[in-house]
Structure 1
Amino acid sequence: MLFKDRTAAGQVLAKKLADYANRPNILVLALPRGGVPVGFEVAKALNAPLDVLVVRKLGVPDNEELAMGAIASGGVRILNQSIVNQFQIPDEVIARVAVQQERELKRRENMYRGDRPFPDLKGQTVILVDDGLATGATMWAAVMSVKQQQPKEVVIAVPVAAPETCEEMQSKVEKIICANTPTPFYSVGLWYEKFPQTTDDEVRELLNKANNHHQPLLFGK
């Protein structure tokens, strides 16, 4: 399955989540930036509110696409110990990368949310959406961040994933939906005809569109 773009991928994914449509206490949390166009389509189809959970990959120095770990809102930090050991990455290097990414995480949170509070997740069914899963490091950090708030249920939903990552994540949440698990996988972007970088402006525009319809539900505490 080759997706035309993230919008089309979100529409396909939404059909696989149809059982969650029009339910109370459902929240779609997209991982910016690429997960937001996907999550927007999911939220729209399910008639559910949309927000973002900012997660940052901790890339291996000189090979930043390879994740040695990830951080997420709420002070979550995870490490891929096998990658750390394989590349013999010292603690001080990990700490330096983490500080850099923490700075970017806070910048994005401020840009996307401003002074709006993070939604209360307690008792909610949270659907975590991204444009794909490769190593799963950022999604696992997102799951840990969400579980700190005691949701009723955590669902992972992605258009495409490495088969082994999708299988591994099944034990971490109540439900996972990977619409496409191709073998060989290689990378997320290979399974999209168009895979441009999503911009900060696009993220804010989609959040504003979604929140115009669901603001009382999302942010009422």
Structure 2
Amino acid sequence: MVRDAPALMFADRDEAGRLLAAELAHRLESDHSRPLVLALPRGGVPIGVQVAARLGGDLDIVLARKIGAPGRPEFGVGAVAEDGPPVFDEGTLAHLGITADDLSATVDAERAELARRVRRYRAGRPAPVAAGRTVILVDDGLATGATARAALRWLHGRSPRRTILAAPVCAPQARDALSAEGDADAVVCLSAPPEFRAVGQWYDDFHQLTDEDVDAAMRGFAHA
């Protein structure tokens, strides 16, 4: 049973990241290894900066893209991460009367965008090495959990010692489903309000981030 977390409002991603980092520091008091913090761009990067700074961890990114329903790109029915297979919500597909094959063109388009982001954000660097490490996957919030699910399954093939999924705010259904599926050893949400409708609802400042914002945040962390 995952206990309900209280509803919280965050001023911005930096504040949310600091609060999440404090909670993770408390939970990891007995883990003296240097964690690998992996952020989901774009919104997860400011969160990851705060978490990695507080925990003395390494910071990198993992890339995943939502797969939208036909004609409703904002409605996620699955996701794909880097070179991993697409992960679909089979119940949602059945409800909509579609199959994974019906989404092949969408998957191809999202893979192309993933390839662009890999080139943009990594600039030739290899994917982070997670083997044997405590890995904390962070985002600015979990709505359906689709992108986090795809990223976790991508990570599973890289043999981390322990995997923690962490976000400041989560839809209770996404939190509970991800906890039950077992792709992460722990799911940490500061807030899981029953009235959750969208991640941005719980931030005073939830402006859209750009590739340049991601670059600046990663450079700032590296130079700190």
- Is TM > 0.5 for Structure 1 vs Structure 2? yes
Q: Give the corresponding residue for 1:217.
A: none
Task: Give the residue type in structure 1 aligned to 2:13.
Answer: R
User: Does 1:98 find its partner at 2:107?
Assistant: yes
Structure 2 contact 169–191 (Cα < 8 Å) conserved: yes
CA distance in 1, matches of 2:32, 2:71: 46
Seen in structure 2, the aligned counterparts of structure 1 residues 164 and 115 have a Cα distance that, compared at 3 Å, is: same
Q: Distance in 2 between matches of 1:44 and 1:154?
A: 18
* Deviation digits for residues 77-113 of structure 1 (CA, Å, limit 9, x no counterpart): 1011122122222544310000000000010011000
Aligned pairs for 1:16-165 (under 5 A) are: 16-19=23-26, 20=28, 23-165=32-174
Deviation at 1:23, TM superposition (A): 3.6
Q: Distance in 2 between matches of 1:212 and 1:122?
A: 25
Task: State the match for 2:212 in structure 1.
Answer: 201
How many residue pairs get aligned? The number is 213
Distance 2:34 2:85 in 1: 24
- Counterpart amino acid of residue 204 in structure 1: D
> Partner residue of 2:195?
184
User: TM-score of the superposition, structure 2-length normalised?
Assistant: 0.90
What amino acid does structure 2 have at the position aligned with 1:49? D
TM-score normalized with structure 1 length: 0.91
Moved more, 21-30 or 136-145: 21-30
Q: Does 1:14 align with 2:21?
A: yes
What secondary structure sits across from 1:210 in the alignment? Answer: helix
Q: Deviations over 1:6-30 (max 9, x none)?
A: 1110011011011447943410000
Partner of 1:17, secondary structure, is helix
